[in-house]
Amino acid sequence: MILEMDNKIPNKSETTSHEMLAPSIKYDQEATKPIEKIQRRLAQNREAARKSRLRKKAYVQQLENSRLKLIQLEQELAQMKQQGVYMGGGLVDGHLGFPVPANSGIVAFETEYGHWMDEQRKQICALRTALNAHTSDADLGMLVETGMNHYSELFRMKTTAAKIDVFYVMSGMWKTSAEQFFSWIGGFRPSELLKVLLPQLDSLTEQQFFEVCNLKQSCQQAEDALSQGMEKLRELVSVTVADGQLGEGSYSSQVNTAMEKIEALVSFVSQADHIRQETLQQMSRILTVRQTARGLLALGDYFERLRALSTLWSTCPREPA
């Protein structure tokens, strides 16, 4: 009997040992899980860092390629100035032996306009952020005033440039091709712009809608009157240039007389910009501060889309005719 009990004791002890060992093994397995998770996370971080380095390398390479292209364009531009091209202020005609340098005033305008565009993008970004963040009307009012003054600065720049080369400003050579397509006397047509902006202005009262429609009609009348004046001046200049016997080679008197008439074009550019400025100011009086801010944002986005359209068109591959 004692022997039987002795034989049973080790068995019980062994069972107890197995029971104690099982939780230990289970604990060790559980303990290794966080380590595996950390290792996986570290591997993921290493892979993300590797991809980030590749993206950074590709971005740096892209910047370097852009820098090289810019240098190439600058070199080509310098060669074109020497060989003979039209550059803002005049005709550089090296073939005839009468090189005329690019007008420094127009070059200065292009530089100013580039700075104006950079500031415009910052203001549009600030307006978008303020509207999405439901900024107070007082803060929005400051952004609106800044935006309105910014357009006034553009009109001032254009007036100065028009006195230097009115054909350059009227043709819109400082704008992208899509903007030139919709250009009217060197800028946007106010009545057409109101058509674009009106659907973007929500919550208009009946009175506001009525006043905007009246403003659009007034713009169209002013534009038509200015366009008619432009057409008459164009006919007058054409007749003046063609006066006398063509083909004789003597045309100095006709050209000088035409020059006197062309000086009136500067006033047409100023009047067109005056209509644009008045339209913006009238819109700010009709609309609330928040509506005006949304209108300026829509206006900026519209011009950005036109510029994007120009870029897309110029870079889009096309089949040769």
Answer whether 131's CB lies under 8 Å from 297's CB.
yes
Segments of the chain with pLDDT less than 70: 1-33, 56, 59-102, 244-253, 318-321
Q: Which of 157, 168, 193, 192 is nearest to 270 (CA)?
A: 157
CB atoms within 10 A of CB 287: 20
Which residues sit opposite 91 in a β-bridge?
86
User: Measured between alpha carbons, how far is residue 164 from residues 106, 109, 158, 182, 254 in Å?
Assistant: 7, 10, 10, 23, 21
The pLDDT score that the predictor gives to residue 79 is: 54
User: Measured between alpha carbons, how far is residue 200 from residues 135, 196, 207, 293, 301 in Å?
Assistant: 19, 8, 17, 11, 11
Q: Mind listing the pLDDT tens digit for each residue in 123-142?
A: 999 999 999 999 999 999 99
Its pTM stands at: 0.65
- Summarize the chain as % helix, strand, coil (round to 5): 80, 0, 20
In the DSSP assignment, the letter for residue 184 is: S
Question: In which residue are the tokens 């063609």 written?
Answer: 242
Give the span between the Cα atoms of 112 and 114, in whole angstroms. 5
Q: Mind listing the pLDDT tens digit for each residue in 224-269?
A: 999 999 898 888 888 777 776 555 655 666 777 777 777 888 999 9
